[in-house]
Amino acid sequence: MKGWAEGAQEVTDKINAKYQRQAWLRQKKIEAREEQKRLDKIAREKMHSDAALRAASDAKREIERQHALAAEEKKEMHERHEMAICEAHQRAIDRFWGIPTAKEKERRLAEFLRRQFEARIRDKRAMMVAVGGEIKVSKGVAKSVPKQLDLPLYRIKTLMVSGEEMCEDPMGLRRPPIGQSPTKMLQKLAYSVLAIVSTVQAITFRDDGSFTVVQFADLHSHNGGPFPSCSGLTDEQKKYPCSDKNNTQFMSNVLDVTYPDLVVFTGDNNDAGAWLGVENSVKHFLQPTLERELDFAAVFGNHDEEANLDRDELMDVYMKYPGFLGEAGPSDIHGYGNYILTIDGETGPEFNLWFFDSGDYSNFSGIDGYDWVWGDQIQWYVRESKEREAANNGTLNSFAFFHIPLPEYEIMLEEVEISGLHNEGVCHGALNSGLFATMVERGEIKAATVGHDHCNDFCGNYHGIDLCYGGGTGYDGYGCAGTPNWARRSRVIELSDYGRTIKSWKILDDGLLTKIDEEVLFSEEGGKVDRSKRKRVEKIIKELRED
C-alpha cells in the first residue's frame, strides 16, 4: 500500500508541476504582451513627437516664407508707390507746361494722320494698297490714290492701306528739306499709327442703292476652355450637340444667306472666359467674317476687358485684321471706339454709321451700375455731326451702334408699341447723360441698336428714333431657357434707296434660319412704315439680372 501511495503522490506532484509551469508560461506571455504594448506605445509617442516636430518645422518654414513674400510685396508696393508719385509729379509738370503725355502724343498724331489721309482718299471706292505708288485693288475700282502721304514735318515713303500687309519700311520717315532720320520716338509714333491710318477706307452702296449690315451681339467668345458654353438652352435644344463652335457655325450660316456689306459686333465679343488669350478669341470669332473677306466694325461692351487686354490694346488687335473699318477715335474723350463710317453713293456721302463706346461700369463717385456715353462723347458727336452737315449741305440719314442701352429703352416701354420680345429688365447705364435727347435734336440718327440684354430683341419708335436690340447671338453667354422655343439670333439691317429707307429683321438659329419681325424702321416716304403689328408690353420687366 505504501508503495502505491508514494507513486500516486509522485504523479500528483508532476501534474501540479506541469500546471504551475503552464501558469508561469501564461504569466510570461501576458508580461511579454504588456511589454510589447508598452514598447509600441513608446514608439507611437516617439513617432507622433517626430511628426509634431516636423510639422512645427514645416510651419516655421512656411511662416518664414510668408514673411519673406510679404516683405517682398511690401517692397514692390513701396517701389510702385514711389514710381506712381514720380509719374504723378511728372504729369503735373507736363500739365503745367502744356506737354501732352506720350499716349496723347501718339493719339494726336494718329488722329492728324487719319484726317489727312481721309481727306485725300474721299473719292476712292475700294480697299487698296499704295506702296511707293503701286496700287492694288481688292474690291471695286479705285479712282485715285496718293503715292505718298505728305505731312508738314514727315513723309511716309512706304504706305500700307490694308489691315493685312505690313509696310516694306515702316520706319521710312524723313524731314523733306534735310533728309535727316527722325528720332526713335517719332519712329515709334509713326509705326504705331500706321494701323490706324490703314483702317480709313471708303465704303459704298451697291449699284442698286442698297447696303446690308449684320449685327452680332454678345458673343462672349471663349474659344474653348473650361468655361461653360451653351447655357440657357431649352429642353428641345438640349437634345442636340452644343459647344463654342455653335457661335461660328451660326455666324457662317447668317453671312452665307445675307452676304452683307458690313458686319458689326456690338460688344461683349469676348469675356473672362477667353482663357487662351483675347487675341485667339478674337481670331476665333472673326473667322467666318475673314473667310468671306467681309468688312467689319466693332464696339466694346462691359465684359471685353475682363480677360488679358485693355480697350486700347483690344483695338490694336482688331486693327491687325483686313477689312476692319473701326478705329480708336479721338484721344480727348472717353472710351475707345468712337468713330463714324460714311457710306458713299454715286455722287458722294449718303449715309453715316455712328459708333459709340458705352463703357463698362461706373467709376463715378456715388453712382453704381453700368457706364454710359459721357458728355465729352456727346460733344464730339455734335461737333462731327455739324461738320458733316456743313460739308454735305444738310444732314445725312444715320444709324447708331453701341452696347449698353440708353435709359429711354426702358422709358419707352410705358408709352409705345414694340416688335419683338421683352424678356428681361433693361440694364441701361446708371446715368442718363442726354445722348438720346441730343440725337433727337440733331435729327439725323433714325435708329440705333445695342446688345447687353441677351433676352431682349425688340424695337420701339420713341420720338422718331427706333431703339432696337440685336438679341443674344453667342452660345457662351447666358440664354433664355424660360422663353419657349427661344433661339440665338442676329439682327439684319438693310438700307435701300441710298439710305432713304431702313428695313430690319432677325434671323434665328433654329435649324431653318427663320426670318422674323421683318419691318421698315424708317422711310422718307412715310407710307412705307407700318407699325400696326407692334404691340404694347403687358408687363414691364424691371428686375435686373446679375451680370
SS3 letters across 38-81: HHHHHHHHHHHHHHHHHHHHHHHHHHHHHHHHHHHHHHHHHHHH
Look up cell 476652355; give the residue: 225
pLDDT value, residue 207: 92
Here the cell at position 439 is 440725337
The pLDDT tens digits for 187-212 are 334 433 443 343 344 689 999 999 99
- The pair phi, psi for residue 423, each rounded to 5°, is -110, -10
Does residue 141 carry a pLDDT above 50? Answer: no
Rounded distance, CA 396 to CA 342, Å?
A: 9
CA torsion, points 434, 440, 446, 447, in degrees to nearest 10?
30
pLDDT band at 184 (very low <50, low <70, confident <90, very high): very low
In this predicted model, what pLDDT tens digit does every residue of 405-437 receive, in sequence order? 999 999 999 999 999 999 999 999 999 999 999
pLDDT confidence band for 227 (50 / 70 / 90): low
Q: Which of 6-15, 162-171, 295-304 has the highest mean pLDDT?
A: 295-304
> Helix 435-442 to helix 375-391 angle, to the nearest 10 degrees?
10
Q: Please check whether residue 114 is in contact with residue 197, taking contact to mean a CB–CB distance below 8 angstroms.
A: yes
* Strand positions, DSSP E, 146-288: 149-150, 155-156, 173-174, 203-204, 211-216, 262-266
137 CB neighbour count, 10 Å cutoff: 14
pLDDT of residue 225: 57
Helix (H, G, I), strand (E, B) or coil at 484: coil
Mean pLDDT, the chain, whole residue set? 78
Assessment of whether the complete model's pTM goes beyond 0.85: no
Averaged pLDDT, 284-309:
92
Position 379 pLDDT exceeds 80: yes
pLDDT in tens, 489-512: 999 999 999 999 999 999 999 889
- Positive/negative CA dihedral, 129, 130, 136, 138: positive
Alpha carbon distance 503, 263 (integer Å) = 16
Domain boundaries, the chain: 1-99, 106-198, 203-528
| 316 or 110: which leads in pLDDT | 316
Phi, psi of 419 (to 5 degrees): -105, 150
Structure confidence at residue 30 (pLDDT): 84
Q: Mean pLDDT throughout 144-155? A: 32
Cell digits of residue 99: 506737354
Q: What is the pLDDT, as a whole number, of residue 274?
A: 65
pLDDT confidence tier of residue 186, bands split at 50, 70 and 90: very low
- How far apart CA 199 and CA 354 sit, in angstroms, is 16
> Looking at residues 55-75, what average pLDDT do you find?
82
Per-residue model confidence (pLDDT) at position 96: 58
More confident residue, 462 or 129: 462
Using one digit for the tens of pLDDT, what is the confidence trace for 167-181? 333 333 323 333 333
The whole-number pLDDT of residue 224 equals 60
3.40.47.10, 3.65.10.10, 3.20.20.410, 3.60.21.10: CATH of 203-528? 3.60.21.10
Rounded Cα distance between 57 and 529, Å, is: 81
The set of cell numbers assigned to 404 is: 449698353
Tell me the pLDDT band of 444, cut-offs 50, 70 and 90: very high
**HSE-CB for 148 with a 13 A CA cutoff:** 12
Would you say the C-alpha torsion 279, 284, 286, 289 has a positive or negative sign? positive
- Is pLDDT larger for residue 410 or for residue 118? 410
CA 209/CA 502 separation, integer angstroms: 12
Rounded Cα gap, residues 483 and 442, in angstroms: 38
CA distances from 349 to 193, 199, 204, 389 (A): 25, 18, 9, 11
| Cell numbers representing residue 131 in the block | 506702296
How distant, in Å, are the alpha carbons of 55, 56, 70, 150 from that of 63? 12, 10, 10, 65
Of 165, 9, 10, 192, nearest to 104 (Cα)?
192
pLDDT, average across residues 86-115: 64
Whole-angstrom distance, CA of residue 538 vs CA of residue 455: 17
